[in-house]
Structure 1
Amino acid sequence: MADPASPTPRSLPALQAAFLDWARTDGLTWIYLFKALAAAFLALGIAMRLDLPQPRTAMTTVFIVMQPQSGAILAKSFYRIGGTLVGLVATLALIAVFAPQRELFLGALALWTGICTAGAARNRNFRSYGFLLAGYTAALIGIPAAQHPDGAFLSALTRVAEVSLGVLCAGFVGALVFPQQATLQMRTTVRARFSAFVEYVAAALSGYVDRPQIERQNARFLAEIVGFEAMRSIAVFEGPESRGRSGRLARLNSEFMTASTRFHALHQLMNRLRGAGATEAVNALEPYFKELAPLLHSPGEPVLTALDAAGSATKLEAFKAALPRRVREARAVLAAQPDFPLLDFDTASELLYRFVDDMHAYALTYASLAATTHERERTPERYEPKTNAVLTAVAGIRGAIVMAALSVFWVTSAWPNGSLLVLNAAAVCALASSSPRPTRMASQMAAGTVLAVIVGFIVVFGAYPHIDGFPLLCAVLTPALAIGIFMTTRAKLAGYGAGYCIFFCVLAAPDNLVHYDPAGYANDALAVVLSMLASAVAFAVLLPPSTPWLRGHLLSDLRRQVILACKAPLATARGRFESRARDLAFQAHALMEQEPAEQRDALAWLIAVLEVGHAVIDLRRELAGLPSDARYARTMPWRRSIAQSAKTLTALFARPSDARFDAALAANHDAIAAAQQALAAFAPPREDRHRMQRILSYLHFVRTALIDPNSPLSRYAGAARRDTAAPA
């Protein structure tokens, strides 16, 4: 008879499924916890064996660079070592020039730290750690060494050795012990994003997507674009396979941005036509939409793999090749109808063709990932996450002010532990500045540090005197460190965990010769906590990110991307415009996390900027493709009307107002009329006529975007504006 407690064959699959689910979630947390402890103890043990002056520095470095993915560890370590070397050179230069005068040295160090903090805030990827370490290393090495200039060089080299040891141990353990690679996660992300976008397109073409769902989808795409680029930037460190596809992955992200923007423009235009009662134009276009959705799927299944995408690309290519002829035939029939809105039909059909072309390129790049090498790897358009210049400057100035203020306090109070106060303020300012909510990050780190102070006191004075040998030391430190490591694996507790792990090591990690000095420990703990609190107060008082002026400036910078679309070199205009606009919107969205209404307004501005900016870039490309003929010269009246329309458009987005809205709408009206008159006057050849019609389509789309009642520009559409009806 079977033991009733033993699992039956029927229950085994359920147990296996439960185990696999645990392994994919909590199991990964336990693996990461084990790896972080192993790397920290390895660094500590080697530093002690080499008799380095401060083994705790190597241990602290492990927790600064440790990440779940091996590529993230390597990327972070690469920039950390680079930043450390830069900080070393800067430190030696500052000591050589200013060491005899402590006040001048601290002032120069505050300025250098402010510059590095600005650099860390500017680069919202692993490059920020290079700037962070360039400033932190200067303070870590410079402040103690400036008090003893004769030993500055040796002190600097030992600090670099300790930091490098921690970096190497974290990289070694992360890459060799149960490695978790970002490459595998990227494959899943690429597949899931393509499938989700295809489903969204199919649903929207069927009319099943309402505006709140569109807003949620745009916010999701926004986060995915930024997250995908961050993942790609760390995957290149994991091996030649990832590096060999890095350019195509960057291109894939760029093409996804373009395709999603184009589809949204097409969807919005169709909604406007339906709202305006242009049922004939809508009915003429509906058959194309019904044919398009099935092309994005394999027979009966969604596109999941690169091979599936190759089949989808083939079908899209055939549809794209036949589309212009079919549209011309349909247009000829519709043109015979009196009062048919041909300009609406031309605009929508042009956007449809461009969307199909963009999806074809997107599917081709996805399909190319199956090959080790491919021609699409070359000349990709890069997505560069850069923080707004004003926010960057504010972060740098704030960091310099905190350093200068705490330096003054140290000098005037003559507090022996003031050096630690100033040193940790440099690190906290740089770390928090790269966070979307730096005040909360600094506050969480302060709370985590307070907990580390309490636990560290128990460990140092309650446990250390009773143990002997490295194995027992590791056993004592394991539960104390595991608390902080676990918190870093939870998004809401990550700030607490970072403060706990880093400053537990600073305060309680052992040196080769342990000194039991409760008063000294209390002073060090007080210095660390005060540096945290000073940084948190600075972020809350000195132009905090929640300041309406800063939020307004961020939205103003987002609107000014239309100026970039109008004036940037055409070769790079689309990539720079799309990348910059989405990155600014992501910053604004993160900044307004607690204000849903403000977030929706930022997304609405993003949609308006992307729609108009894309149309302007397409318009510029069509104008640039016109032949060298006097009829198309820039001095012709119709070309001057288009230039005037672009001028009023940039003025409107630079500083929106009722008067500028009316001026932009009037100039657009005049440009459409002038282009139509020119097209009728000189009857250009077939290819040139099609180009002129496309120019008219983009001008008309800009007009529909301006008068869209759901656009944030509608608040400037006063009752006094002129009649906006476009010429027939």
Structure 2
Amino acid sequence: MSDPALRSPRSLPALRSAFLDWARTDGLTWVYLFKALAAAFLALGIAMRLDLPQPRTAMTTVFIVMQPQSGAILAKSFYRIGGTLVGLVATLALVAVFAPQRELFLGALALWTGICTAGAARNRNFRSYGFLLAGYTAALIGIPAAQHPDTAFISALTRAAEVTLGVVCAGLVGALVFPQQASTQMRTTVRARFSAFVEYVAAALSGHVDRAQIERHNARFLAEIVGFEAMRSVAVFEGPESRGRGGRLARLNSEFMTASTRFHALHQLMNRLRAAGAQQALDALEPYFKELAPLLHTPGEPVLTSRDAAGSARKLEAFKAALPRRVREQRAVLCERPEFPLLDFDTASELLYRFVDDMHAYALTYASLAAATHERERTPERYEPKTNAVLTLVAGVRGAIVMALLSAFWIASAWPNGSMLVLNAAAVCALASSSPRPTRMAYQMALGTALATLIGFIVVFGVYPYIDGFPLLCAALAPALALGIWMTTRPKLVGYGAGYCIFFCVLAGPDNLVHYDPAGYANDALALILSMAASALAFAVLLPPSTPWLRRHLVSDLRRQVVWACQAPLARVRSRFESRARDLAFQAHALMEHDPAEQRRALAWLIAVLEVGHAVIDLRRELGALPSDARYAKTMPWRRAITASAKALTALFARPTDARLDAALAANFDAIAATQQALAAFAPPREDRHRLQRILSYLHFVRTALIDPQSPLARYAGEARRDGAAPA
């Protein structure tokens, strides 16, 4: 008998809920699996119908560009087609110039591959595929074409047709069959991040966040910023609605970086004042924090939608409008108390105003997403992810060396399948270079290819002879391909799945006329696995990313962003400084995945760099806005003192030492004293006086950051500096 509970109406909601949960998780995996199979078989069938020379290339292309989201497919396809066309042009040029001399041709090809590998490493996200394909296509077409130059042009055209067919099939199936939009995920991400950030700010203002939580939040914010930009670059391919909001989404990411940095600076300053026992300043500022927290987040009423953000923006605007007058009135009262730490109060109140202003802009941009068009779309500030130049150069040189060595092995051994060894190494080097752990990526692809070799052997020699017709061919390939597709949906198995899917098609993908050659199959498989093993060995031996020197270089480059903030033109300097510093920290954080202590050290340097860099940029803007008056000229003693302080600061962050920290603190102390003397020596107009006070506040904040015992600079300080004493 059936269980009455299963027939009970009360069980229906539970079953419905369970089904919806399955549909949102594993159900999406099955949908993607069937879509990938459908696109692969569609490309294979059309290529066979058109009698293209290698239908397997079209099917391989599908697995290279296929992604769960339609926007990601279109983005990857766009860059793949562009890279393929560039690679075709390079192929024809190399074949025309170097084809008669195999050694020169392979040397030029190795150089070209190294350049493309460096480009793939430098430009992350899907842009790297354009460079990857430019190098791989030159090897894929150029090596066979160099052996038969008279057919190079036809080979290039047919290969372009096969690749384009695979791209079109993947794009059509991804966009038309149960499409998953990146823009939908972006809306969820924007909502969750705004809500989480205002909750974090409210909790921190209430004193409910410890240092460990701050570190976790900073690490999470770092990953979210990079992931958000990757998602945004994909969403713009999905349609006019996403493109119409692309500028605002980029601006939202930039404003989130600025607001989070400003709030962290404010929170750090309050912690420093608390540690220094500046209770009077804390008591004077506490009422503002108590008022601000409910404006951002009311317990039990999270800020979720753009309408909620618009309400927060209105409250913040009113608070911001009244804040300067209230601070001035309170400051006038505090001036009557000689013992009151007025500079601490000025610095904290200025940071508070700047944070409210940045948070107001962030809320306005979030609220503007409800409209299809908005004026905030016209002035986007973009996050600019770029891999460190030294890491890029290392990746390019490594790729060129691998190609050159394998080419030399091919020439010396006269191995008939050496061409497969060389051209596949170009793809693996470029693909793995964009991974934070390239050695593991190449190793996983090699194991995936080994598995594909075994299953492909069974399919080719055990199944193909017994089937007839395209439907049976699809039925025979579906189980083998489904295994690889499933692996690509699991984060820990992505490398295995990529190697399996791509090289199963290379080894066992059917042609119009199947050739049963076990020896040739074994040689191709051996060439593929050896090329990946050689690539993995190169990543492990030739300056691997885990090399301490490379890690130190990344942290050093991160510190040098303060130098850049001190010297770069002021136009767009803040957004570029933010994105460059955070991107370098993200790269360092990824390379130090298995070294938590080094990760914390890199995050500590990021915090120090962002705090000081922001203060320097604000200081430079205030100086640049001073009127043309002899009292504010750059030749005045107080201006020269600020310039000397900036030079000492750049020297410190370029290469920290005990002596340079002492010099930076001394120069900062002199700049503060000189500016205070200038402010007392004459009676500037009200706006100029406020500007000079803000300049003092930024100088003082830089000082608090330099003497912070939690800062990574503390290791260069003596006992007196750790206690916050002024330099002699």
Normalised-by-shorter TM-score class: over 0.9
Contact 1:622 1:691 in 2 (8 A): yes
Show CA shifts across 1:410-460 (max 9, x none). Answer: 011100000000010000000000001101100000110110011101111
RMSD over equivalenced CA pairs, Å: 1.3
Which residue does the alignment assign to 1:437? 437
- 1:10 and 1:80 map into 2 onto residues whose CA distance is 52
Counterpart amino acid of residue 139 in structure 1:
A
Which residue does the alignment assign to 2:157? 157
Which residue does the alignment assign to 1:148? 148
Which residue does the alignment assign to 2:117? 117
- 2:666 and 2:390 map into 1 onto residues whose CA distance is 34
What's the % identity of the aligned pairs?
88
Which aligned pairs between 1:438-453 and structure 2 lie closer than 5 A?
A: 438-453=438-453
Which residue does the alignment assign to 2:319? 319
Q: Are 2:160 and 1:167 aligned? A: no
- 2:218 and 2:720 map into 1 onto residues whose CA distance is 33
Counterpart amino acid of residue 710 in structure 1:
Q
Segment of structure 1 superposing worse, 377-386 or 422-431: 377-386
Deviation of 1:3 after TM superposition, in Å, equals 6.7
Deviation of 1:261 after TM superposition, in Å, equals 0.1
Contact 1:320 1:353 in 2 (8 A): yes
- 2:256 and 2:237 map into 1 onto residues whose CA distance is 24
Show CA shifts across 1:292-350 (max 9, x none). Answer: 01111369511111111111101100000000011111111111112110000000000
Deviation of 1:719 after TM superposition, in Å, equals 4.0
- 2:173 and 2:93 map into 1 onto residues whose CA distance is 35
Deviation of 1:5 after TM superposition, in Å, equals 6.0
- 2:723 and 2:521 map into 1 onto residues whose CA distance is 76
Counterpart amino acid of residue 641 in structure 1:
A
Show CA shifts across 1:541-595 (max 9, x none). Answer: 0000000000000000000000111011111110110000000000000010000
The SS at the match of 1:383 is coil
Q: Are 2:240 and 1:224 aligned? A: no
Contact 1:666 1:724 in 2 (8 A): no
Which residue does the alignment assign to 2:482? 482
Which residue does the alignment assign to 1:198? 198
Counterpart amino acid of residue 138 in structure 2:
A
- 2:602 and 2:451 map into 1 onto residues whose CA distance is 38
Which residue does the alignment assign to 1:523? 523
Q: Are 2:663 and 1:663 aligned? A: yes
Which residue does the alignment assign to 2:102? 102
Which residue does the alignment assign to 1:58? 58
Structure 2 vs 1, CA of residues 237 and 291 (structure 1 numbering), >3 Å: closer, same or farther?
same
Segment of structure 1 superposing worse, 290-299 or 483-492: 290-299
Which residue does the alignment assign to 2:582? 582
- 2:298 and 2:697 map into 1 onto residues whose CA distance is 33
Which residue does the alignment assign to 2:184? 184
Q: Are 2:591 and 1:591 aligned? A: yes
Show CA shifts across 1:207-252 (max 9, x none). Answer: 1111111000000000000000000000000000000000000000
Q: Are 2:68 and 1:68 aligned? A: yes
Which aligned pairs between 1:660-699 and structure 2 lie closer than 5 A?
A: 660-699=660-699
Compute the TM-score of the two structures, normalised by the length of structure 1.
0.99
Which residue does the alignment assign to 2:277? 277
Contact 1:71 1:182 in 2 (8 A): yes
Contact 1:244 1:373 in 2 (8 A): yes
Contact 2:235 2:242 in 1 (8 A): yes
- 2:671 and 2:723 map into 1 onto residues whose CA distance is 15
Deviation of 1:718 after TM superposition, in Å, equals 2.3
- 1:55 and 1:434 map into 2 onto residues whose CA distance is 28
- 1:197 and 1:300 map into 2 onto residues whose CA distance is 15
Counterpart amino acid of residue 626 in structure 1:
L
- 2:725 and 2:615 map into 1 onto residues whose CA distance is 19
The SS at the match of 1:339 is coil
Which residue does the alignment assign to 2:715? 715
- 2:54 and 2:330 map into 1 onto residues whose CA distance is 79
- 1:213 and 1:369 map into 2 onto residues whose CA distance is 30
Deviation of 1:7 after TM superposition, in Å, equals 3.0
Deviation of 1:720 after TM superposition, in Å, equals 7.2
Which residue does the alignment assign to 1:473? 473
The SS at the match of 1:261 is helix
The SS at the match of 2:7 is coil
The SS at the match of 2:572 is helix
Segment of structure 1 superposing worse, 330-339 or 512-521: 330-339
Deviation of 1:6 after TM superposition, in Å, equals 3.7
- 2:583 and 2:2 map into 1 onto residues whose CA distance is 62
Which residue does the alignment assign to 2:136? 136
Q: Are 2:612 and 1:605 aligned? A: no
The SS at the match of 1:302 is coil
Segment of structure 1 superposing worse, 156-165 or 711-720: 711-720
Contact 1:222 1:582 in 2 (8 A): yes
- 1:120 and 1:495 map into 2 onto residues whose CA distance is 17
- 1:88 and 1:375 map into 2 onto residues whose CA distance is 42
Q: Are 2:331 and 1:334 aligned? A: no
Show CA shifts across 1:259-312 (max 9, x none). Answer: 000000000000000000000000110110010011113695111111111111
Contact 1:39 1:173 in 2 (8 A): yes
Which residue does the alignment assign to 1:358? 358
Contact 1:296 1:302 in 2 (8 A): no
Mind listing any 5+ residue stretches in structure 1 that lack a counterpart?
none
Which aligned pairs between 1:360-399 and structure 2 lie closer than 5 A?
A: 360-399=360-399
Counterpart amino acid of residue 637 in structure 2:
P
Deviation of 1:472 after TM superposition, in Å, equals 0.7
- 1:694 and 1:476 map into 2 onto residues whose CA distance is 73
Which residue does the alignment assign to 2:500? 500
The SS at the match of 2:237 is coil
The SS at the match of 1:129 is helix
Contact 2:551 2:588 in 1 (8 A): yes
- 1:387 and 1:605 map into 2 onto residues whose CA distance is 18
Contact 2:61 2:167 in 1 (8 A): yes
- 1:367 and 1:7 map into 2 onto residues whose CA distance is 47
- 1:283 and 1:93 map into 2 onto residues whose CA distance is 73
Contact 2:709 2:722 in 1 (8 A): no
- 1:544 and 1:136 map into 2 onto residues whose CA distance is 22
Which residue does the alignment assign to 1:14? 14
Contact 1:662 1:722 in 2 (8 A): no
- 1:101 and 1:117 map into 2 onto residues whose CA distance is 24
- 2:6 and 2:658 map into 1 onto residues whose CA distance is 77
The SS at the match of 1:415 is coil
Segment of structure 1 superposing worse, 525-534 or 299-308: 299-308
Which residue does the alignment assign to 2:286? 286
Q: Are 2:573 and 1:573 aligned? A: yes
Contact 2:107 2:404 in 1 (8 A): yes
Contact 2:202 2:297 in 1 (8 A): no
- 1:3 and 1:575 map into 2 onto residues whose CA distance is 63
Deviation of 1:74 after TM superposition, in Å, equals 0.0
Q: Are 2:211 and 1:211 aligned? A: yes
Which aligned pairs between 1:574-653 and structure 2 lie closer than 5 A?
A: 574-653=574-653
Compute the TM-score of the two structures, normalised by the length of structure 2.
0.99
Counterpart amino acid of residue 438 in structure 1:
P
Deviation of 1:11 after TM superposition, in Å, equals 1.3
- 1:603 and 1:212 map into 2 onto residues whose CA distance is 12
Deviation of 1:379 after TM superposition, in Å, equals 2.0
Number of residue pairs matched by the alignment:
727
Which residue does the alignment assign to 1:562? 562
The SS at the match of 2:266 is helix
The SS at the match of 1:570 is coil
Contact 1:125 1:385 in 2 (8 A): no
Segment of structure 1 superposing worse, 306-315 or 387-396: 306-315
Deviation of 1:722 after TM superposition, in Å, equals 11
- 1:240 and 1:285 map into 2 onto residues whose CA distance is 47
Deviation of 1:721 after TM superposition, in Å, equals 6.1
